[in-house]
Amino acid sequence: MFQAIHETVEYIKKKTDHFKPEIGIILGTGLGDLVGEIEVAYSLMYPNIPNFPISTLEFHSGKLIFGTLNGKKVVAMQGRLHYYEGYSMQQITFPVRVMKALGISYLFVSNAAGSLNPDFKKGDLMVINDHINLQLESPLRGHNDADMGPRFPDMSEPYNRKLIADALSIAAAEGITCHQGVYVSVTGPNLETKAEYKYLRIIGGDAVGMSTVPEVIVANHMKLPVFAVSVLTDEGFPEILHPFSLEDILETARVAEPKMTKILSQLIATL
Ligand code: HPA
């Protein structure tokens, strides 16, 4: 893996005139608009980047974008990779390794998730303060490269506490409803049954989604501080569960997105 990372980083450095990002950003389903705030310097298509997995979802555009956001140099993944697409955990998290090797000191992640907490409504935001990995596989399984991180990485604070506090202050100042809570990752691609939503709530989840946790585990392995936020696009409340509609989820993400973009871009400015 070390060799693959090296090869990819060399290609990217050459194509971006050695642009050195400070912050890495992974944008979730229907949440690519933050890119509109970036003063883009370079944009690379995933299929052109050596060793990069290619996003298979047509609503993910699959670009690695380099530029400036509120005065900070960023690299943003527009289009993330999901376990359900058939990639290995190592493939999904490869871009995080690459962004770290390019020099980032923070990782920001967004996703669309289903609410499990009856107080968290569709269209609200939730800053992730902890997670439960129900994908039941770690991206760190297998050989550990000690140069990247320890065999048994600590996970007592996977999401940076100061960034959480600052994000909640920004949200309050902007009058944006923003909760904090526990994200449960599942493999998908099928949605949950009523019994599963009930179970996920009982075990301590506030939101459920099909991403984020692998990237967060790898970031923690490399001691990279993480900030993650969910846009709650549907309500997994067993008593009133409606049939799932992708159009509805994307529409909710589209409407809620400006709130999230405001918080992320102001938070980045504080770093
Ligand atoms: N379950 C799993 N993943 C999701 C959901 C959900 O309800 N909503 C958005 N992503």
In terms of Cβ atoms closer than 10 Å to its own Cβ (0-12, 13-18, 19+), residue 82 is: buried
CA distances, 205 to each of 32, 120, 198, 211, 265 (Å):
25, 12, 10, 15, 27
Ligand 1 in contact with 236 (CB < 6 A)? yes
Which residue is closest in CA terms to ligand 1's atom 6?
114
What is the structure's pLDDT at 58?
A: 53
Which residue is closest in CA terms to ligand 1's atom 9?
113
With the C-alpha atoms ordered 101, 138, 112, 228, is the resulting torsion angle positive or negative? negative
The whole-model pTM stands at 0.94
Cα angle vertex 18, ends 23, 40, to 5°?
A: 55
Ligand 1 centre and the CA of 114: distance in Å?
A: 4
Ligand 1 in contact with 192 (CB < 6 A)? yes
Domain at 2-269: CATH code: 3.40.50.1580
Q: Tell me the domain boundaries of the chain.
A: 2-269
Ligand 1 in contact with 113 (CB < 6 A)? yes
Question: Would you tell me the crossing angle of helices 2-15 and 89-102 to the nearest 10 degrees?
Answer: 50
Q: What is the pLDDT along the chain (271 residues), one digit of tens a residue?
A: 889 999 999 999 999 999 999 999 998 876 777 888 899 999 999 888 999 887 665 545 688 999 999 999 999 998 888 999 888 999 999 999 999 999 999 999 999 999 999 999 999 999 999 999 999 899 999 999 999 999 999 999 999 999 999 999 999 999 999 999 999 999 999 999 999 999 999 999 999 999 999 999 999 999 999 999 999 999 999 999 988 888 899 889 888 989 999 999 999 999 9
What is the structure's pLDDT at 59?
A: 45
Ligand 1 centre and the CA of 73: distance in Å?
A: 31
Pocket test for ligand 1, best of 117, 232, 234, 250 (most atoms within 8 A of CB): 234
Which residue is closest in CA terms to ligand 1's atom 2?
209
Minimum-distance ligand 1 atom for the alpha carbon of 113: 9
Minimum-distance ligand 1 atom for the alpha carbon of 209: 3
Ligand 1 in contact with 114 (CB < 6 A)? yes
Report the Cα–Cα distance between both ends of the chain, in Å, rounded: 30
CA distances, 8 to each of 36, 139, 189 (Å):
25, 19, 29
